[in-house]
Structure 1
Amino acid sequence: MTDFSGALELPGLKESDFAKLDSILTNHRCGLSPDEIILEKTDIGYQIRICGVWKNYHEELENLVRAVVRRFPRAVSGRIEACGEDRSDNWALEASEGKVKLITYQLALASEVVIFDSKEGGRKK
C-alpha cells in the first residue's frame, strides 16, 4: 500500500473553468472516492487535494496530473508525495511551468525526470 498526499494549486482559474476541471477529475478518478480527490474553490482560484492509501494507482495518478497540466499548463503548481512500504515506492509528482516531474527517492539520493512537458506536446518518458 502507498500513502499519497499533496495538492495542486490552480490560481487564477475562473468559475467557467470549473466544469473542465471537474470533467478531468471525473475521467481520471480511477475508482477513488470523492473524499480522496477533492476539488475546492479558494480565494485565488481552485485547489485539488489528494489524500489516501491506495495500491497500484501510480500510473492513474500520473495520468490525472498530466491531464490537468495539459489543460491548464500555465496555471498548475503543486506536489503530490507517495510513500510506500518499500523504499522503491517513495516518489513525488511535481507540477510547475507546464511540466510534470517524477521525483524518485532511493536511500539518500533523489532523481528528477520530466515526464510531461506541455510545450513539447506530450509525454517525455
Structure 2
Amino acid sequence: MKTNRIQLAALTALATLARNNPDLPGPSINLYSGGSIDGFVYVGLDGPAALEAWRVALGWLPEIVELKTHKDTVWLAMDAEFMGVPFQVNTFTVPVSVEVASVLPEAAGLASDEVPSGLPQAWSAEVSA
C-alpha cells in the first residue's frame, strides 16, 4: 500500500519553498507517486513571468528553461531537482505562436533543439509592461 511517506521529501521541499518565498505566484501543483516518479512534483504556472520567479526561487540557471512546441501549443518548461526532489515546472501561457517559436532557435543561430538562454526574462519584462 502506498502512503504519504514517499511524498514526504516533496512536501518538505514545497513547504520550504513557500516559507522562503511567500510572494511566489500561485501554482497548480501535482505530487506523483508510482513507478519511477515517486515524490515527483509538477508545477503549472500562468505565464513566463511566473515561471521566471519560480526559476529564481528554485536557484536554477536560466539555461534550464526550454521552449517547447507540439501542434498548436507553445510552452516553457524546466526540469531539475530542488532539495533532492525532482520538479517539472511549466507554463502554457506563452505570448508567441507556434510559427514564431519554431524559428526562434534558428534566428538565434542555434540548433533546432536548443533555446536561447535568458528568453523568459525578456518575455517577463514584455508581459509586465
Query: Does TM-score exceed 0.5, indicating one fold?
Result: no
Name which one, 1 or 2, has greater alpha-carbon Rg: 2
TM tier relative to shorter chain: 0.3 to 0.5
Structure holding more helix per residue = 2
Instruction: Kindly indicate which of the two structures has a greater share of residues assigned to strand.
Output: 1
